[in-house]
Structure 1
């Protein structure tokens, strides 16, 4: 497949979209065309979520506000086309896929507001749990639900699944902390339960729903056996079916209905906004790992730990523990525990250090009585605790990533009374043995809630039947223990066939009646929760095609990566890029050649060209999957031999390219000054309509600099390598000083002698080639860099400092490794050896070492720091913030800060990517004022300045200003 055509610096993007089908024609009369997605590509990537199902929709509509949802509900009713509302798409039971229209919420519905000094929080469904908690954090509060996927799971799904998590248990979930709800019914009527007039109107205008709910309420309350069964079943976690406890907990039909919507998975109405009561954050905490001889022993010990009232107790069996060995935060003792061991990770929480000490003392007395094979000491360090719990958060994806390539991950969650937890775990292990599954068990042991995971080849019908028989026995086991078949992940299609078995025919009859009352046309997420097909959990299972890379093929499509992706609001996310490859392979395997070609043509822009290749996805993926490796490979495969040859030639003569770029930048600045930036934007807008992509440098991008090399006096303390970014765009300081000037000033104050090599021009870290698919050029550039470094540093004796962290990352971590499949190394064998001996250091590390030698004379008051994607990837964000805190009174790091979308030249070619990347940050920083704003690369600083409206400088400028 041919790639972007490049001629004389102008890229012409070739993208063919799907023909105007009748459904699309109708939808674009209601919504902007760019928010209506009906192509083969988008229908494929939205056919899958975090579950093992695949349902291809007819269309996807990206909704921005409640009026959009109202219009979609009206359209659905008038056209008879089902709709499924989808937020983060991390759901595990098949409730966010459907064959009608997907109403996507994650690109809109971003509102969050705090009330009552933090006691209440209102939010829309397109924000994550972490984003809501970030708003509450300054008030010392948080929301109750705390799913392991809280960084990616959005509140629309949390409410619709009644998700709980590690600490929420039964009483701190969305159902029990709900204060009010704004919702839309199937008929388009909109209500807000916080308004008395709306509550009255609900009773008056919805007589069928109201009378039906009152009838069910009275019938349940008069049925002593069923009433007691409902009370008993909701003493443990239970989200199977609808929230029948609402008929016992509330009298008013409006309250009953609003609580039925919690956990209804979008099958009864649309939740537009919710207000929850919040909980205090207990800031003093301690965590500890206890290891037992078996998971049954660990499960039985939960009751012993209950007497100390821990905030959370998590069970991790041997398979889940071994899946995370080697990850940051995993204690070394995990590698030494006996085979078959299991662990309990528990957390103590208190409002004061004294109270925590008392809890630790009490816990120690309990632990002393337990039969352990190993343990760890109590950890009260926030960093160490975060590492431990991040390990637990990523168990699902980590275990799933260890499966055989091409097999399907199936994760179920069940709950029993904690007293039966040991029996449940023991019986599940017996079933694993009987059916030959290398099953994994982990979960919220304190609540009697465990998740179990199995992997199977679901492309083989005999294996599907094998799994079916296994699940039948699991269902019998859990029902026999009076447990919940779904504790917190939602019923979905995975357990829909078994809802009646858990609840009994009478209660199931009420569940069906609720669905009919609230969705008489059967258009709201049909087939989810209520489904008459006994085999729906065995049908439409997604194919996991093998792409051909050991790391990429580990992806289980959980969606943890999406919230940090710069293109999440405009094209595809990392998960969707991988899904696109798998779907394309499936189409080819099914000989659907035309659709496969149509998909791949659209993927050129949406998946390949618009990707920033920033690698942020790897920082949040439990398996460390960097989708940039896949995209770089895509770009390489799309290049012609001629373009590869030209790129290689450019790498060999990069010094000339560098000079030409400097000249082009000066010309661009002059044109901008004469015609204005808006005129250039208008010109580019018109050109893009012709599929011509003209680079648009940020207005704030600095000009090229002249490097004044220090006079040679003695052997240097370090070699300073000004990156090509700094050499070409380094004029970024508000005082007019370049990055190089600032580094040399600070070094001089500290008495450090830096040497800048005479022949530094033309030396590059190889990123411009490797991330654009030019392998030969990347190899030339990489070897040239190592050759130069080896010579400059006297065969590696002297450290070398790089002033742009993305370049440091490439120089340290990307030069000597394969990035996809069976691609060869960039470096020659000799340079691989030289590279390993080089002392390459990032400027931030150098500053940290240098700071004690500097006098802080001009401490700034309030500064803004935007850590770049590279800074995060190399693990230096906290270091940089720590330095800033020594130089300023208040340091603000936006909660929404990820990659700025610059991506070298990517943001210049596709400005919409920058707007997508910084959309949340623009809203977060609106109206705030700072004494200075700082980042870590010239292109990023210029991009941030233009988009955020704040003048960004290089981070070294903060150091220089504070130490004058």
Structure 2
């Protein structure tokens, strides 16, 4: 419905637009509750505003409708992609328009020379699509594994290797754009341009006139050219007014870096750049900053891909990290370093480039020998550390403070004096802990420091620092106050200072021409509020030691299986912090109660606790640890837990019997009948009876009977003194309970197949006598039953030490999550192998592959990734199959032990893209029995343990 002129109350306006949007947009995507507005309204910056309405839009039509409805009610709208921006571009106290997961379309054009991308695609995914063509998108921000194309374009993000020549402004070819009035323009379509010109002639005329005005003013035109010789994201892209004359070209390039203040980018087509496959990097150290900057100047004309400067404080922050030289700890206080990256198409070209780089550094006094490495592990560690410098500072900050990153650029010829003077400014204002690093070839440097905002004196100190930094960088050195992180709210009060009044007035004319009512992301880039940068500051109270180091960067979100269902790791931490803040204050009991109630499901129950977030987090936070602790607080170690642990053999036998009985019942009432019965029983028993899955396995045979049968067939009993290799086989409780899918091609259990393969490859197998009562403790740990989990791990440790002769014999487990838990809790003397590692290293080399499978799907479990076995798993699969399909959108499957039975919606959400990704495959493989249940159900194909494929395509080698 349409609001009346008398409806001036803002709440009534939001109620009205909510009601109107409900007619078209599903109400589950219209969000107004306290928990999710806070969670979805938080970005990586140090600002906080609470949106009144969050709309998760699925397509262009919905965007257009929201904008029209908002315009008719004079309500501001802010756009959000991944929320990794650092300057406050993506927060609002009005309507937040958030991308749903429906914005991942792409088209690869001209053999990868161009690519069209919707805004919801993560930058790293775009490069994955282009990798077969040895191409990539130009921008390469440090957050590329988490940030989305919409944000990359809207902020004109650049990065380590991108410079000023390969950013979005330089590489954009066309875009689909939606403006404040809901009009859609496709700049690559002539009919769309014609229609837009007919209805928006005033906008195009304004851009044409501004271009003529600027180009006629030599001083202003030259100033603009100088500003964009550097990296510069302060204000609007005024270079478009001197670089182009066609108003559509001007418009397109103004949209780049406009931070959602001029319109919405619904698709962008980039010209891609070469991604050289051969890479080398070196860490080079110098006595002081001046010598380091001189080396940067020497490298400016050398064939380098990137030169990253790190000051002594930054180097100190990464001392002892994997891959870093031991000599770091002995560097003097004034030392600094350069990470130099060199790339080429061939080894010969690389050698030539390296020689030229070393020649360019001749005469520069270094503290270490210049040694370039192509070792992927060391190379990746260098870059991981460089990309993690910002969060690493945040991880060691005092609790209650935030971490701020300032992003400036000096003319490279003034780099040394500018840096030294800037360091002096930070010292003057008491920021002695600040670290400096950045893209030195472009004169682009980041200063990172910690800041408290809970004390007015601290806010004033920060304001004074910013004033002096602005006058130094923009005034004295004619540099950029925001080189690549965007103006946002952080630098909006200083845009006029950097650009001067004439250019600033032109920016306001641009804003008014695109957005006359000022409804698109107000106060971002341009603001009349001189104190904007020190208002609406985000609180970061103490919440829990496990997560207090989080700076809410959002790097974790892309891999979280619950991201499209409930909350991400960042959002779980945000809400838990708010709960703790409100608990301490005691001022808003109603809001606190609402958050606590919703958090039980949104934060705790639907967290898979898979730990993949820790792999993405620069400081290694595993939000699952917080979840398990909260589960423990909700249900402390109980008598039931102890009883289950003490009677575990009986528990596994009962589950086996239950599965067998259930599959008999399935034959009578079918899957629908079983679903109805178990849903009812689940409610009655408070979740004890699991939800039915169409791929529910039958009960497994006893491992003792299987092992005895194999030994009888072999005609021998394991003799530990024989020269024949011996292995201890520890089947997990999941494989001991769960047999094959009743509709599967191979009805043997994982245990049966493992014994077959181990025997075929020449091993004699020891199965522990007490195996039926054993458990690594994972099942108890995941529910917060920590004492029982530790007891089971201790018992297992004693059993394995005995059966392996104190580590003499290797131990192989057939379930990835269990093995991960064992590596974390058992005696290091035990030689533990997950089945993938053991199969690849010891079993397959002793087999003859008779005929590879044609095409298979592969799911790499989260625990496999966390153990560093992902590459080995893929390599093993390629040894066994001609083609291996790894669904790109699937990370953790969300089954999470038994979560697939208790909260099947988590598994369904995590795997919603699976069936399409594997539609050309007939079978899939993994290495966790519970994960395979969900994978089979949501893919439409059977998933089995990878050991089935090993057995299927191999025979014993001669001589075994």
Contact 2:604-2:627 within 8 A present in 1 as well: yes
Q: Of the candidates 479, 483, 488, which is equivalent to residue 484 of structure 2?
A: 488
CA distance in 1, matches of 2:539, 2:231: 32
CA distance in 2, matches of 1:680, 1:238: 62
Contact 2:740-2:746 within 8 A present in 1 as well: no
Q: Of the candidates 918, 931, 934, which is equivalent to residue 943 of structure 1?
A: 934
Contact 2:17-2:70 within 8 A present in 1 as well: no
**Deviation at residue 740 of structure 1 after TM alignment:** 1.3
* Equivalent residue, structure 1, for 2:777: 766
* Equivalent residue, structure 2, for 1:358: 352
Q: Which moved more, 1:79-88 or 1:712-721?
A: 712-721
1:846 aligns with 2:838: yes
Q: Of the candidates 911, 922, 925, which is equivalent to residue 918 of structure 1?
A: 911
* Equivalent residue, structure 2, for 1:554: 549
Q: Compared with structure 1, are the counterparts of its residues 640 and 534 closer, same or farther at alpha carbon in structure 2 (3 Å cutoff)?
A: same
* Residues 285-364 of structure 1 aligned to structure 2 (within 5 Å): 285-364=279-358
1:608 aligns with 2:604: yes
* Equivalent residue, structure 2, for 1:748: 759
CA offsets per residue over residues 525-559 of structure 1, 9 Å max, x none?
1110111111111111111111231x411111000
CA distance in 2, matches of 1:686, 1:713: 48
CA distance in 1, matches of 2:842, 2:313: 41
1:876 aligns with 2:869: yes
Q: Compared with structure 1, are the counterparts of its residues 548 and 341 closer, same or farther at alpha carbon in structure 2 (3 Å cutoff)?
A: same
Q: Which moved more, 1:508-517 or 1:734-743?
A: 734-743
Q: Secondary structure of the equivalent of 1:369? A: coil
* Equivalent residue, structure 1, for 2:152: 158
Q: Secondary structure of the equivalent of 2:912? A: helix
1:709 aligns with 2:707: yes
Q: Which moved more, 1:366-375 or 1:24-33?
A: 24-33
**Deviation at residue 212 of structure 1 after TM alignment:** 1.9
**Deviation at residue 782 of structure 1 after TM alignment:** 2.4
Contact 1:162-1:239 within 8 A present in 2 as well: yes
Q: Secondary structure of the equivalent of 1:282? A: coil
Contact 1:24-1:38 within 8 A present in 2 as well: no
CA offsets per residue over residues 237-282 of structure 1, 9 Å max, x none?
1111111111112222222112111100101111111111111221
* Equivalent residue, structure 1, for 2:948: 957
CA offsets per residue over residues 406-450 of structure 1, 9 Å max, x none?
211011111122111112221121122212211111111111111
Contact 2:178-2:184 within 8 A present in 1 as well: yes
**Deviation at residue 31 of structure 1 after TM alignment:** 1.6
**Deviation at residue 231 of structure 1 after TM alignment:** 1.0
**Deviation at residue 675 of structure 1 after TM alignment:** 3.8
Q: Secondary structure of the equivalent of 2:849? A: coil
1:724 aligns with 2:722: no
CA distance in 1, matches of 2:46, 2:487: 14
Contact 1:608-1:635 within 8 A present in 2 as well: yes
**Deviation at residue 784 of structure 1 after TM alignment:** 2.8
**Deviation at residue 583 of structure 1 after TM alignment:** 1.4
Gaps of 5+ in 1: 1-19, 817-834
Contact 1:329-1:391 within 8 A present in 2 as well: no
Q: Compared with structure 1, are the counterparts of its residues 670 and 249 closer, same or farther at alpha carbon in structure 2 (3 Å cutoff)?
A: farther
**Deviation at residue 668 of structure 1 after TM alignment:** 3.3
* Equivalent residue, structure 2, for 1:445: 440
Contact 1:37-1:59 within 8 A present in 2 as well: yes
CA distance in 2, matches of 1:722, 1:114: 45
Q: Secondary structure of the equivalent of 2:936? A: helix
CA offsets per residue over residues 612-637 of structure 1, 9 Å max, x none?
01000011111111000000011111
Q: Of the candidates 784, 792, 806, which is equivalent to residue 817 of structure 2?
A: 806
**Deviation at residue 389 of structure 1 after TM alignment:** 1.4
Contact 1:856-1:887 within 8 A present in 2 as well: yes
1:650 aligns with 2:644: yes
**Deviation at residue 80 of structure 1 after TM alignment:** 2.3
Q: Compared with structure 1, are the counterparts of its residues 796 and 939 closer, same or farther at alpha carbon in structure 2 (3 Å cutoff)?
A: same
Q: Compared with structure 1, are the counterparts of its residues 674 and 420 closer, same or farther at alpha carbon in structure 2 (3 Å cutoff)?
A: farther
CA distance in 2, matches of 1:266, 1:98: 12
Q: CA RMSD in A?
A: 2.2
* Equivalent residue, structure 1, for 2:714: none
CA distance in 2, matches of 1:56, 1:691: 39
**Deviation at residue 106 of structure 1 after TM alignment:** 4.7
TM-score (norm 1): 0.92
CA offsets per residue over residues 139-191 of structure 1, 9 Å max, x none?
22111011011000101100100001111111211111111110111111111
* Equivalent residue, structure 2, for 1:7: none
**Deviation at residue 215 of structure 1 after TM alignment:** 2.3
Contact 2:682-2:690 within 8 A present in 1 as well: no
CA distance in 2, matches of 1:492, 1:288: 34
1:262 aligns with 2:256: yes
**Deviation at residue 678 of structure 1 after TM alignment:** 4.7
**Deviation at residue 674 of structure 1 after TM alignment:** 3.8
**Deviation at residue 682 of structure 1 after TM alignment:** 7.0
* Equivalent residue, structure 1, for 2:885: 892
1:497 aligns with 2:502: no
Q: Which moved more, 1:408-417 or 1:660-669?
A: 660-669
Q: Of the candidates 407, 420, 428, which is equivalent to residue 401 of structure 2?
A: 407
**Deviation at residue 690 of structure 1 after TM alignment:** 11
CA distance in 2, matches of 1:182, 1:961: 50
TM-score (norm 2): 0.92
Contact 1:701-1:939 within 8 A present in 2 as well: no
Q: Compared with structure 1, are the counterparts of its residues 529 and 926 closer, same or farther at alpha carbon in structure 2 (3 Å cutoff)?
A: same
**Deviation at residue 796 of structure 1 after TM alignment:** 4.2
Q: Of the candidates 227, 231, 234, which is equivalent to residue 221 of structure 2?
A: 227
1:204 aligns with 2:198: yes
* Equivalent residue, structure 1, for 2:7: none
CA distance in 2, matches of 1:248, 1:266: 22
CA distance in 1, matches of 2:913, 2:86: 27
More relative contact order in 1 or in 2 (CA 8 Å, sep 6+)?
1
Contact 1:648-1:780 within 8 A present in 2 as well: no
**Deviation at residue 948 of structure 1 after TM alignment:** 1.9
Q: Of the candidates 263, 266, 275, which is equivalent to residue 272 of structure 1?
A: 266
Contact 1:237-1:415 within 8 A present in 2 as well: yes
Contact 2:408-2:479 within 8 A present in 1 as well: yes
**Deviation at residue 797 of structure 1 after TM alignment:** 4.0
**Deviation at residue 597 of structure 1 after TM alignment:** 1.0
CA distance in 1, matches of 2:108, 2:621: 36
Q: Of the candidates 804, 819, 822, which is equivalent to residue 793 of structure 1?
A: 804
Gaps of 5+ in 2: 1-13, 712-716, 956-960
CA distance in 2, matches of 1:774, 1:23: 47
Contact 1:243-1:263 within 8 A present in 2 as well: yes
CA distance in 1, matches of 2:116, 2:828: 53
* Residues 49-448 of structure 1 aligned to structure 2 (within 5 Å): 49-375=43-369, 377-437=371-431, 438-448=433-443
Q: Which moved more, 1:845-854 or 1:387-396?
A: 845-854
Q: Secondary structure of the equivalent of 1:731? A: coil
Contact 1:497-1:535 within 8 A present in 2 as well: yes
Contact 2:140-2:158 within 8 A present in 1 as well: yes
Q: Secondary structure of the equivalent of 1:241? A: coil
**Deviation at residue 33 of structure 1 after TM alignment:** 1.8
Contact 1:288-1:346 within 8 A present in 2 as well: yes
Q: Secondary structure of the equivalent of 1:126? A: coil
CA distance in 2, matches of 1:860, 1:424: 61
**Deviation at residue 936 of structure 1 after TM alignment:** 0.7
Q: Which moved more, 1:885-894 or 1:599-608?
A: 885-894
Contact 1:649-1:777 within 8 A present in 2 as well: no
Contact 1:493-1:537 within 8 A present in 2 as well: yes
